[in-house]
Amino acid sequence: MKNNPDQGRRGGARKGSAGRRGGNSAKPSNSRGGSRSASSRPGGGPSKSGPQSQGQRHDKPQGRPSGRPGGRPGAPKPKLKFAPVPDSTATMRLNRYIAQAGVCSRREADVMIGAGVVSVNDKVITELGFKVDPTKDLVRVEGDTIRPEAMRYVLVNKPKNFLGVEYDPSGRRTIGDLIKNACKERVYPVDRIEKESTGLILFTNDGELAKRLNHPKVSLRELYHITLAKKATPEDLEKLTAGFVLDQGFVKAKEVSFVKNDPHEIGMEIHSNRSRIARRMWEHLGHKVVKVDRVVYGPLTKKDLPRGHWRHLTKDELNMLRMTT
């Protein structure tokens, strides 16, 4: 009697033992209630997987990649992506509205909402996650009307020998002196530019956007025009694009080239928010830096913005900046 490839092994019987005993304990697999044989499959062909014992698990071979993204050992992790920074004038959660008005933090606002001391359009709101329209709704906290501070975004073309801050207790000249008439709200620099450098710097009171712009994973595009005391060499440019370790951190230029074929004038694009990084990269190569001018900051440029002047961001520029982060 030939062994049936579809015969099960329940009861501990060894394959082919039924033939030695000569009994009828092994029933044909094509009997009623039994498993289907290879010949009874659609098309009459054998199973692709070959003979398989009834009740056995179809385990995948060990050590084989699963085929799913990230399943292969050593595969690069997906790049972190952020949702765009929300518009400060769009519909927002009630706790955020209260926090922007300077009443308290968002967590404390949730407690106040749950306590029933917050009303919207004269209706008490206790629902966490309730949304309001800053341009239409009237919000009161313990009977007092509150309004969030208007968000301001002021772009400045910083001149040399001005501190890139809003105020200096020592009385030195700051960017705050240049933009004191820009808005009544108090705005702060998103990042820092050293005193001797020039170029674009953004001031705002939008803390959420400022935090996002300075996040290490964002790496906003910045383009610098750098003037050197001595000529740079093509080897210097190759070192910058290859990258190197600077202060226990790896840095590199996205692109770097001579400006109008002048080896003293360099155009360099970097994606790093580290302090004074453009100047320090050239100093690391042994060059004395005469001038550093930031001409591009994310989607923002110096076009139609003379040195020492400022302007408010347009709606399109603000939308692009939110999408960039």
Q: Is the dihedral of CA 270, 232, 249, 279 positive or negative?
A: negative
Residues 311 and 166 in one domain: yes
Question: CATH number, domain at 159?
Answer: 3.30.70.580
Q: Which run of H or of E encompasses 282?
A: helix 277-284
**pLDDT of 43 above 90:** no
**Same-domain pairing of 291 and 307:** no
Instruction: Let me know whether 158 and 209 are in one domain.
Output: yes
Whole domain around residue 249: which residue ranges?
222-297
Instruction: Please give the sequence-ordered ranges of beta strands (E in DSSP) within the chain, or none if there are none.
Output: 92-93, 118-120, 123-124, 131-132, 139-141, 144-146, 153-158, 188-189, 198-204, 222-228, 244-246, 249-251, 255-259, 262-270, 289-297, 300-301, 310-312
76-133: pLDDT as tens digits = 554 545 555 556 567 899 998 998 888 999 999 999 999 999 999 999 999 999 999 9
Stretch among 54-68, 231-245, 290-304 having the lowest mean pLDDT: 54-68
In tens, the pLDDT along 166-219 reads 889 999 999 999 999 999 989 999 998 999 999 999 999 988 899 889 887 888
- Of the candidates 27, 29, 24, 33, which has an alpha carbon nearest to the alpha carbon of residue 6? 29
Q: Indicate if 292 and 233 belong to the same structural domain.
A: yes
- Look at residue 101 in the predicted model and tell me its pLDDT: 87
Same domain, 171 and 211: yes
Q: Which CATH number does the domain housing residue 244 bear?
A: 3.30.70.1560
Mean pLDDT, residues 30-41 taken together: 43
Residues 165, 206, single domain; the answer is yes
Mark whether 307 and 181 lie in a shared domain: yes
Question: pLDDT exceeding 70 applies to what percent of the chain?
Answer: 72
Residue 279, domain member (yes or no): yes
Give dist(CA 212, CA 156) in Å, integer. 20
Do 204 and 312 have their domain in common? yes
Do 164 and 205 lie in one domain? The reply is yes
In a domain, 307, yes or no: yes
Q: Are residues 98 and 230 in the same domain?
A: no
Q: Are residues 251 and 310 in the same domain?
A: no
Residue 21 main-chain phi, psi, to 5 deg: -75, -25
Q: Does residue 61 surpass a pLDDT of 90?
A: no
Check whether residue 268 and residue 310 sit in a common domain. no
Question: CB-based contacts of 319: which residues, under 8 Å, 6+ apart?
Answer: none
Asked if residue 163 is part of any domain, the answer here is yes
CB-side exposure of 235: number of CA atoms within 13 Å? 2
Q: Is the pLDDT of residue 305 over 90?
A: yes
What whole-number distance in Å separates Cα of residue 86 and Cα of residue 209?
Answer: 9
Domain count, the chain: 3
Whichever domain contains 118, its CATH number is 3.10.290.10
The DSSP call for residue 261 is T
Asked whether residue 204 is domain-assigned, the answer is: yes
